[in-house]
Structure 1
Amino acid sequence: MLYIGCHTAASGGNGVGVTAVREGPSGELTKVAEIELTSPSWLTRHPTAPVLYAAAEPAGEIATIDLDSFAVLDTVASGGADPCHLAITADQRFLLCANYSSGSMAVFGLAADGRIVDRTALVTHEGGGPVADRQEAAHVHMAVPAGTPQGTLVAAVDLGTDEIRTYRLSGTGELEPLAVSAMPPGTGPRQLVRRPGTDLAYVAGELAGTLVTVREGPAGTFTTVGVEPATAAPHGAGPNYVAHLEISGERLYVSNRGPDCVTEFDLAATTPVAVADHPCGAFPRHFSIVDGVCHVAAQRDDAIVSFPLGGGEPTRFATGTPTCVIPG
C-alpha cells in the first residue's frame, strides 16, 4: 500500500485529500480508497498503530486517520500556521510538527492507540536570511528526532533563518534548547537526513539548489563539511527548489524541482558524488523508495511517477496535485 497526500482547491490544487493505492505485480498502482481532506501536504504513518497523520496545511490542523475504516478519527490544531512536516519519536510517545509560516515547532503526546492526547510544547523561532522573498522570517520546515545517550534530541530545520536548532525532548514532552548550527547564508535548509552508522548528515538547500554535507558532533551540533550542486548535470536557466532527501543503502537520492529529476548520489566518500539524474515528472515535491522502486509525487504533472532504480520503464498513476507519497 501507498498513501498519497495532495494540494486541494484551498491551496490552488485539484486533489481530493488522502488516497490509498495498491501496487500490483507489474508495478501498476490501483486506487483502493480516498478520503476528502483539505490540502494534506505531508503524511506520516504510525509505526505500530493502524493510524496515519496528515498535516492539513491551510487549516493549520493535524488529522488522525484510522486505516481500518479509512476515516478521520479527529483533528487538532497544529499550534501554528501551515504545518508542513510530521515525525514520530522512536519511543512512539510524541508527534512532532513543523509549522512553516509561523516558524514554530510543536510536540504532541500520543496514546498507545496512536491518538493525539495533548500538546506538550511549542517553540517559535525568530530571525531571517538574505533571500528577501523567502527568508523574511523564520520558517521551520522539518523536525528530526533522534535517540542519543543523552536522551531524545529534536533538530528543527529552519529554511528562513539558515539554521538547524536542536532541542532536548524531556520525558514529559517539553523542549529545552541545546544548540544552534548555522548553514551557509541563503541555503534555505528544508530537510535533514542522518547517514546511519556515521556522524554525517545531509541537508537539502531548497533556495540555493544545493546538497550540504554536515558532520554532527557533539550530538545535535552540525558543522558544514561540503556543499555540492543538487544535480549531476547543469540544469540551465531557472532556480532549483530542492525538496526531499532519502538514503537507500550506499546511495542518497534528492528531488529537484525545476530540473525535475531525482538525483542519485554515491556515498562512498565523505561528500556525496552525483552519478545520475533520473527524470521523474514535473515538480517532484516528495518521493519514497520501496523495494527498489522510487515513487515520486510529481506535483505539477498530477501524477505519481514510479521508476525502478536499477533501470526500466517508469509507470504513471494519475492523481490531483500530489505532494507526498509514503508506504503503508
Structure 2
Amino acid sequence: MDVWVGSYTSATGGNGVGISTFRRGASGELTPDRSLAMTSPSWLTAHPTAPVVYATNESADGAITAVSTDLEILGTISSDGADPCHLSVSVDGRHLLCSNYSSGNLSVFALAPDGRITGQTDLVRHEGSGPVTDRQEAAHVHMSVVRDELVHVVDLGTDEISAYTLSDKGKLSPLSVSAMPPATGPRQLVRRPGTDLAYVAGELGGTVVVVRESADGRLTPLTTVPATKVPYTEKPNWVAHLEIRGDRLYVSNRNPDCVTEFDISGEEPVALADHPCGAFPRHFTIADDTVYVAAQKDDAIVAFPTGGGEAVRFPTGTPTYVLVR
C-alpha cells in the first residue's frame, strides 16, 4: 500500500519537494519511495476509478495538476482562482471541483473516462464577510462536499455553507444557504453515515458544530462544542480536518497540536482524549487502526494508534496532506 504526501514547497515558504510517496509496511511503518517536484501540492484527491491523483498547486496563480499513479504528470490547468486548497470528485467520476480560498470561488472541471481534465464547465463566486476582520474580510471557499448531484460549499469567510445541484454537464445551480454561528470560520464538513447529522470544523472558533441536514441541503446548527477535551487558550485553535470512523469523530487542532477523539454515538459529541501528534497538524488520514498526521511545522508524518498510544515520526518536508492508496 502506498502513501502519498502533499507539501508546501519553497514557492510558498515551505521546504517540501512536492509530492512524496512512501511504502507502507505490514505494521504501518513508512519507507520513503519516490518524489515528484511541483509547486505546493497542498491537497490530493484520487479519482474513484481511474489511476489518477489530482493536486492543488496552492499559490496566487492557482493551478491543478493531474498525476498518474506511476507518479507522472498528465497535465496542469489553471484553477481559475487564487490559492486552491481543496479538491473533490463527483461520485460518477465525471467532474472535479476545486475550492479557491483567496478568490472565494469554486470551479468545476470535466473529466474524461481516463481521469484527464478536459476543460472548465462552471465557476461560482461567493460574496460577503464575517466578524473576524483579519480572516473574514471576504469570502474564502475552503471545501466542497459532493453527494450524488448535491454539492455543499463551505465558506470560511462568510460563515456560510451553500448548497448547489450539479448537472450532468457540470453546471451548478443554487439550492440554499445555511448560516453557521458568527465567527465559526467553517473549514470542513463531514456527514455521519446513516443519519441526517453532519459536523463542521470551525477553524476560527476552535469548535465543532453539529448540524442537521434537510432535504433541500439546508444545514441547521444544533450545538457547538470545543474542538479539544482540555480547554486551550494560549493561542487561537485553528481547527483543520475531520474524519469519522464508526462512532468516533477525529479532529485535528493546530496550536494545541493534537488530534481530539470524540464519541458521537449520541447527538452531542463527547471529547474522549487529545492525542499528541506533532506541531501544526493540518490533514490526517486513518488506515486500518493507525492515524497518519501531516505535522506541517514538524516536517514529519506522525503516526499513532486510533485509540492513542506511542507516536512514530517519519521525516518529510512541510507536509500538508496524507493520502493512503
Aligned letter for 1:279? P
Q: Choose the corresponding residue for 1:289, options 283, 286, 289.
A: 286
Match of residue 9 from structure 1? 10
Secondary structure, counterpart of 2:265 in structure 1: coil
Identity value in percent: 63
Superposition deviation, residue 26 in structure 1: 3.0
Partners of 2:299 and 2:265 lie apart in 1 by: 35
State how far apart, in whole Å, the 2-side matches of 1:281 and 1:94 are: 35
Gaps of 5+ in 2: none
How many matched pairs? 323
Is the CA contact 1:27–1:315 (under 8 Å) kept in the aligned structure 2? no
Q: Which residue of 1 aligns with 2:212?
A: 215
Match among 178, 193, 197 for residue 194 of structure 2:
197
SS at match of 1:75: strand
Unaligned ranges ≥5, structure 1: none
Q: CA deviation at 1:311?
A: 4.1
Distance in 2 (alpha carbons) for counterparts of 1:312 and 1:144: 32
**Quick one: which of 288, 298, 301 aligns to 2:298?**
301
Kindly state the Cα deviation for residue 83 of structure 1 after the two structures are TM-superposed. 0.4
User: Offset at 1:23?
Assistant: 1.2
- Distance of 2:198 and 2:322 partners within structure 1: 23
CA distance in 1 between counterparts of 2:204 and 2:241 reads 13
Aligned to 2:276: 279
Normalised to the residue count of structure 2, the TM-score between the two structures is 0.98
Q: Specify the code of the residue in structure 2 equivalent to 1:52.
A: V
Report the alpha carbon displacement of residue 292 of structure 1 after superposing the two structures with TM. 1.0
Provide the C-alpha distance between the structure 2 equivalents of 1:3 and 1:90, rounded to a whole number of angstroms: 22
CA distance in 2, matches of 1:138, 1:256: 23
SS at the partner of 1:10?
Answer: helix
Look up the equivalent residue of 1:285 and give its one-letter code.
Answer: R
TM-score (norm 1): 0.97
Question: Partner of 1:163 in structure 2?
Answer: 160
User: Partners in 2 of 1:46 and 1:91 — Cα distance?
Assistant: 10
Distance 1:247 1:87 in 2: 17
Q: Which residue of 2 aligns with 1:56?
A: 57
Q: How does 1:10-159 map to 2 (within 5 A)?
A: 10-58=11-59, 59-68=61-70, 70-147=71-148, 152-159=149-156
Matched, 1:247 2:244: yes
Whole-angstrom CA distance in 2 between matches of 1:86 and 1:246: 16
2:310 to 300, 309, 313: 313
Give me the CA root mean square deviation.
Answer: 0.8
